Amino acid sequence: MKIHFLGTNNWYDTKTGQTPCTLIDTKEAYIILDAGYGIHKVDKYIKPGKPIYLFISHLHVDHICGLHVLPKFKFTEPLTIFCADESKKYLTKFTQHPFMSPIKNLPYKTKIVGIRPGKFVKPLSFVCKNLKHIDYDLGYRFNLERKIITYCADTAVCENDYLLAKDADLLMHECAFSPGSVHDAWGHSNPEDGAKLAKRAQVKKLMLTLFGASGYPSVMHRQEAQRVARKIFAPTEIAYDDLIVEL
Ligand SMILES: [Zn+2]
């Protein structure tokens, strides 16, 4: 299985990264996590033969702005977009005029499916839970090729974050705040939070991603986050755009 980090910034694009998008290439499917501007690169990696599933964490615009890039793609397989049930009506509006070319006009089959927190076996084996963010937000725990991959976008560390991460082979966790930063009402994490969670949940590897665009203007700032996190949890890595991780 390959994981392509296509957009590893939170909030806005900079020279260091684009807004959130990660592609997991597994035997059974292509799984896209969030649709920030990094999504424009997915067609470099998506080949015919496997279904494509896009999981949206929440509706903050940096996580969905790349949806208007969908007409660029020439997928041969259907695209299913999963989002929280209560977000579906907004996402349905967002994916048509006057925001973008309507998804019903795409040259490949596309549908939006609303889901509630819970355990799923179809079309994939996964669990999703509500996280701690200012607006409704889902985190995901996938069981792929007998490995547990957890994706927690915008969130403060919370009990559901922990439950999704427990014993994961790979935890991809947001890192919007800089080391030592004070938390606010929005619900985000700093590198120490991610590392403490990874340690408590006994994950095999922590990948910090979704770095705040203003707090992390360069790769050096991300490296500092890694240094701080590794003091708490040694198997911590940092994501950057176009990094490929094999599991
Ligand atoms: Zn957010």
Q: Largest Cα–Cα distance of the chain, in whole Å?
A: 51
Please report the pLDDT score of residue 240 as a whole number: 97
pTM exceeds 0.95 for this model = yes
Taking the CA atoms of the chain, what radius of gyration do you get in angstroms?
Answer: 17
Structure tokens at 32: 């896209």
**DSSP secondary structure letter of residue 132:** B
> What's the count of helices (H) and strands (E) in the chain, helices before strands?
4, 15
Please report the pLDDT score of residue 176 as a whole number: 97
Ligand 1 mean position to 218 CA, how many Å?
Answer: 21
* Per-residue pLDDT tens over the stretch 38-70: 999 999 999 999 999 999 999 999 999 999 999
Ligand 1 mean position to 49 CA, how many Å?
Answer: 33
Structure tokens at 136: 């409704």
Ligand 1 mean position to 224 CA, how many Å?
Answer: 23
In the chain, the percentage of residues whose pLDDT exceeds 90 is 98
DSSP string, 141-177: EEEETTEEEEEE-S-B--HHHHHHHTT-SEEEEEE-S
Amino acid at 98: P
> Is the separation of the CB atoms in 43 and 71 below 8 Å?
no
Q: Mean pLDDT over residues 122-139, rounded?
A: 97
Burial of 72: CB neighbours in 10 Å, binned 0-12, 13-18, 19+: exposed
Ligand 1 mean position to 58 CA, how many Å?
Answer: 7
Q: Which residues surround ligand 1, an ion (CB under 5 A)?
A: 60, 154
Question: Domains (ranges, CATH) in the chain?
Answer: 2-246 (3.60.15.10)
Average pLDDT, the chain: 97
* Per-residue pLDDT tens over the stretch 203-228: 999 999 999 999 999 999 999 999 99
